[in-house]
Chain A
Amino acid sequence: MLAFALRRVLTLLPLLLLVSVVFFAMLRLGRGDPALDYLRLSQIPPTEAALALVRQQLGLDRSLPAQYLSWLADAVRLDFGTSWATQRPVLEDILQALPATLQLAGAAMALVLLLGLPLGLLAALYRDRWPDHLTRALAFLGVSLPNFWLGFLLVLLFSVQLGWLPAMGREGPASLILPAIATATVSLCVTLRLMRASVLGVLGERHLVFARARGLPERGVIARHVLPNALIPPLTTLGLHLGELLGGAMVVEMVFAWPGLGRYALLAIGNRDFPALQGFVLAMTAVFVLCNLLVDLAYAWLDPRIRLGAKAA
């Protein structure tokens, strides 16, 4: 198991290195003059002398590969530079904002699992009866909802009209409910549909007919035979959904003034704050990769075939 984990991590490293090259290249080959941006954000008048000094300080006068290598050397020591706008270490800024984003994405993921899977099962068990029709209709609507629009409607209904839940901010568990719903809805509905299909697929399999014929109670059949098999397809897509939820959180955060990385990123884009932008995308990549790694390891632990298959390959 440990060997499998190590191997997975080792294959990830070159990938991450390549990702960092792509990011670095995009930023440096993109728009504008970083030295000018730096001076503007530091509120120093951009004279030619100041520009030359900043170019030297930021190492912009060196070749691109040299700049990349020195950036990489800092980055592996977890030094992502100083944000030009906040004048604070990027890592500090990000560690401050990241928990809020993870909390939002995590709560959304919990909603996806705790509502999407049971409702999918429900729909399948009541196939072609009204609970099935209702959940499918809602799911069908849900997969097409723009999350920011939904968030706005939720605020108007539950905060402004009814006064039940906070409209904004991050104070207490109640403030998490609306943003989590807005972030989760699309993934939740996709998972619901997948779960329903998956349960229906398993229900049609032959061994169930035998199990029922042996006289096992229906409830036992579902718990012991249907669920374990039916859960696999929706669970394998969790990694993908995590990406959707993290991305969705970026937009939803703006609707709810949620103090996460989405707002940090938007400020960085507006300010053209390159270190902050780079730190943002690296942090999100790290979270995404790490979570997928954990999911992989969990599968391998649950299902020895994956471990062995990986070894054979």
Chain B
Amino acid sequence: MLRRSLLGAATLAWTLPRVSRAAAPDSLVFSWPSNAGPLDPHGYGPNQMYAQAMLYEPLVRYGASGTIEPCLATRWALDESGRAWTFTLRPGVRFSDGTAFDAAAAKANIDILLRHRERHGWLELMSRIEAAEAPDPATLRLRLDQPYDPALFDLSLVRPLRFASPAVLLPGGSVSAPIGTGPWRLAESRRGERDVFLRREDYWGEKPALRQVVVKVVGDANTRALALEAGEIDLVYGADQLDADTFRRFAADARFTTAISPPMATRMLAINSGRAATDDLAVRRAIQQGIDRDALARHVLQGTEPAATSLFAPGMSKAAPGLMTLPFDPMAAVTVLEQAGWQLPPGGRVRQKQGAVLALDLCFSGGDALQKALAEAIQSDLGRIGIAARLLGADAATLQARQRSGDFGLVFTETWGPPYDPHAFLGAMRAPSHADWQAQRGLPMKAAIDRRITALLAATNATAREADEQWVLTTLHEQAVYFPISFLTNKQVHRKGLGEVPFGGTFDEIPFHHIRRG
């Protein structure tokens, strides 16, 4: 009897439908760790940038080649004072509710943003804009209180300077419905499960080849890999969507296509110059040579991200081409430490200097498997040169509090990639709530760094700007407050049949409108 029931179970399992594969030919199934959120173009928090970028468009776009291209504005000009930008708006653009996009609609959005200016204080342009004017329906003018050179880069960002239909703008600063000018509209959102985006047939530009993008909510990388393998999602795309080993496994699998983008940003450690023992320049220098960066890139990152050679990825900063990272050389690191008076006590493994122990806190995000693995490897490396690194795997809340208050020795951080690097990233170094400010706090020339950054952001003269940038980057390099680990890349994996998936120019946008099923 038992035998019969066992056999029965086996045949039942056989007849169960195999997991449904590849949906409609013009549909794509993607995954993301959370739902898209309320999709307010001016909101942060639960709003996901990839989805905001699908629905909402900027005045100007950051192109894949690193140049500024037209989007909702076809032409733009800066007046001689450097304080007024005039944009000629694209004719014939409509929001997905049918409302026309004109200067009044753009001004309505910017007025709302200015009313809640404090929310957007991290972005320099939002502090510079005094007012938006709409002299005629096809012209939008932005008045600044002082010149701000990277204004167009800030305007190209996914948030907050994009535009929702004036019909849905709420006075409190959010939207009653997600209505934008972009090539997609939100068709369905089932929380914890999926969001569905449909192509807009009335889109002003070239229409996407795909009709539908389904984004399933998949919390972690392991589940995502299994889903991709089982054919439940079509595409994995992003900087951290899969772990490196899994990426390599897919790369070796003939059924899948994988690709890695050129370097875009920098994964690094910020070293706290305001706290013992890293307030000692010798210790920071020793760290630069005591960690085997190439081994981290080769073995932990599995070559999915190249070892970093400078603070900003190649092409991100025109200044400071000669500021290369130091090669791994534990002997040199030991020499630096010993010359500075950090000696190994007899039989001990941790260096000391006048009773002070060479110990520091290495903080990382506890939920991030890659940071955890890097931290564990770095701890071992530092241990070998006599530096005791205490690993502190904190939840997001604790980690942020530590960064804010400078309560760390080493902490993982990243530059933001295009179009933020280098100007917006440098700008944020002046905010005390940033890990960067805290890390630099102990430098004798911190005030000068902040002053020079302020100057370079307002400079209207390219030579002066580059001189300031050169000085800031050289100082940061010499003071060794960052340990660049690797250059962040976008990665993608999909089945061979999917066709072509180009890389976007930034981390924030996924070029769904350029994907075409083969």
Q: Which of B17, B44, B219 is within 8 Å of A263, CB to CB?
A: B219
Which of A102-110, A165-173, A290-298, A303-311 contacts its partner?
A165-173
Q: Which of A36, A43, A166, A272 is within 8 Å of B232, CB to CB?
A: A166
B19 touches A257 (CB 8 A): no
Which of B175-183, B252-260, B339-347, B395-403 contacts its partner?
B395-403
A43 neighbours in B (Cβ, 8 Å): 44-45, 119
Residue A97 is within 8 A (CB to CB) of chain B in the complex: yes
Which of A68-76, A155-163, A244-252 contacts its partner?
A155-163
- By beta carbon, the residue of chain B nearest A96 is B191
Name the interface size band of chain A: 35 or more
B220 touches A257 (CB 8 A): yes
Residue B450 is within 8 A (CB to CB) of chain A in the complex: no
Say yes or no: A87-B45 contact (C-beta < 8 A), given A165-B16, A170-B193: yes
B433 touches A46 (CB 8 A): yes
A159 touches B220 (CB 8 A): no
CB distance from B381 to the nearest CB of A (A): 28
A269 touches B16 (CB 8 A): no
Say yes or no: A167-B396 contact (C-beta < 8 A), given A41-B45, A45-B121: no
Residue A286 is within 8 A (CB to CB) of chain B in the complex: no
A86 neighbours in B (Cβ, 8 Å): 46
Q: Which of A36, A42, A96, A160 is within 8 Å of B401, CB to CB?
A: A36
Residue B404 is within 8 A (CB to CB) of chain A in the complex: yes
CB distance from B335 to the nearest CB of A (A): 42
B18 touches A96 (CB 8 A): no
B192 touches A97 (CB 8 A): yes
CB distance from B368 to the nearest CB of A (A): 11
CB distance from A65 to the nearest CB of B (A): 26
Residue A275 is within 8 A (CB to CB) of chain B in the complex: no
Q: Which of A45, A96, A160, A254 is within 8 Å of B230, CB to CB?
A: A160
B401 neighbours in A (Cβ, 8 Å): 32, 36, 40
Q: Which of A85, A97, A167, A270 neighbours the largest number of chain B CB atoms within 10 Å of its CB?
A: A167
Q: Which of A45, A122, A254, A259 is within 8 Å of B220, CB to CB?
A: A254
B218 touches A169 (CB 8 A): yes
- By beta carbon, the residue of chain A nearest B216 is A169
Inter-chain CA distance A134–B19, complex, in Å, is 32
A174 touches B433 (CB 8 A): no
Inter-chain CA distance A90–B119, complex, in Å, is 24
Inter-chain CA distance A115–B224, complex, in Å, is 32
Residue B226 is within 8 A (CB to CB) of chain A in the complex: yes
A259 touches B45 (CB 8 A): no
Say yes or no: A169-B13 contact (C-beta < 8 A), given A163-B18, A163-B19, A263-B219: no
B19 touches A165 (CB 8 A): yes
CB distance from B199 to the nearest CB of A (A): 23
Residue A100 is within 8 A (CB to CB) of chain B in the complex: yes
B218 touches A257 (CB 8 A): yes
Inter-chain CA distance A286–B401, complex, in Å, is 34
B400 touches A40 (CB 8 A): yes
Inter-chain CA distance A5–B222, complex, in Å, is 47
Residue A44 is within 8 A (CB to CB) of chain B in the complex: yes
Q: How many residues of B contact A (CB 8 A)?
A: 38
- By beta carbon, the residue of chain A nearest B17 is A174
A168 touches B192 (CB 8 A): no
B367 neighbours in A (Cβ, 8 Å): 270
Inter-chain CA distance A263–B217, complex, in Å, is 11
B397 touches A32 (CB 8 A): yes
A167 touches B226 (CB 8 A): yes
Find residues 399-429 in chain B having any chain A CB closer than 8 Å to their own CB. Answer: 400-401, 404
A93 neighbours in B (Cβ, 8 Å): 191
Q: Which of B118, B217, B230, B431 is within 8 Å of A166, CB to CB?
A: B230
Contact with A along B206-238 (1 / 0, CB 8 A): 000000000011111001001101101000000
B232 touches A169 (CB 8 A): yes
Residue B2 is within 8 A (CB to CB) of chain A in the complex: yes
A168 touches B397 (CB 8 A): no
A40 touches B397 (CB 8 A): yes
Residue A80 is within 8 A (CB to CB) of chain B in the complex: no
B433 touches A256 (CB 8 A): no
Find residues 164-199 in chain A having any chain B CB closer than 8 Å to their own CB. Answer: 164-171, 174
Say yes or no: A254-B396 contact (C-beta < 8 A), given A42-B45, A43-B45, A96-B192: no
B433 touches A45 (CB 8 A): yes
Q: Which of A37, A163, A167 is within 8 Å of B397, CB to CB?
A: A37
Find residues 13-36 in chain B having any chain A CB closer than 8 Å to their own CB. Answer: 13, 16-19
A155 neighbours in B (Cβ, 8 Å): 226
A257 touches B45 (CB 8 A): no
Say yes or no: A163-B230 contact (C-beta < 8 A), given A43-B45, A270-B395, A271-B396: yes
B121 neighbours in A (Cβ, 8 Å): 45
CB distance from A263 to the nearest CB of B (A): 6
Q: Which of B38, B397, B404 is within 8 Å of A270, CB to CB?
A: B397
CB distance from A180 to the nearest CB of B (A): 15
Find residues 53-98 in chain A having any chain B CB closer than 8 Å to their own CB. Answer: 85-87, 93, 96-97
B227 touches A167 (CB 8 A): yes
Contact with B along A250-284 (1 / 0, CB 8 A): 00001111011001000001111000000000000
6 pairs from A and B in contact (CB 8 Å cutoff) = A45-B431, A85-B45, A160-B229, A163-B18, A168-B218, A254-B220
Q: A44-B119, A269-B395 are in contact. List 10 more A-B contacts (CB 8 A).
A: A40-B397, A45-B118, A86-B46, A87-B38, A97-B192, A164-B19, A165-B19, A167-B232, A171-B193, A271-B395
Cβ-closest 9 pairs across A and B: A259-B192, A167-B226, A272-B397, A270-B395, A257-B223, A43-B44, A168-B223, A167-B230, A96-B191
Which residues of A pack against B, CB within 8 Å? Answer: 32, 36-37, 40-46, 85-87, 93, 96-97, 100, 122, 131, 134, 155, 159-160, 163-171, 174, 254-257, 259-260, 263, 269-272
Which residues of B pack against A, CB within 8 Å? Answer: 2, 13, 16-19, 38, 44-46, 118-119, 121-122, 191-193, 216-220, 223, 226-227, 229-230, 232, 367, 395-398, 400-401, 404, 431, 433
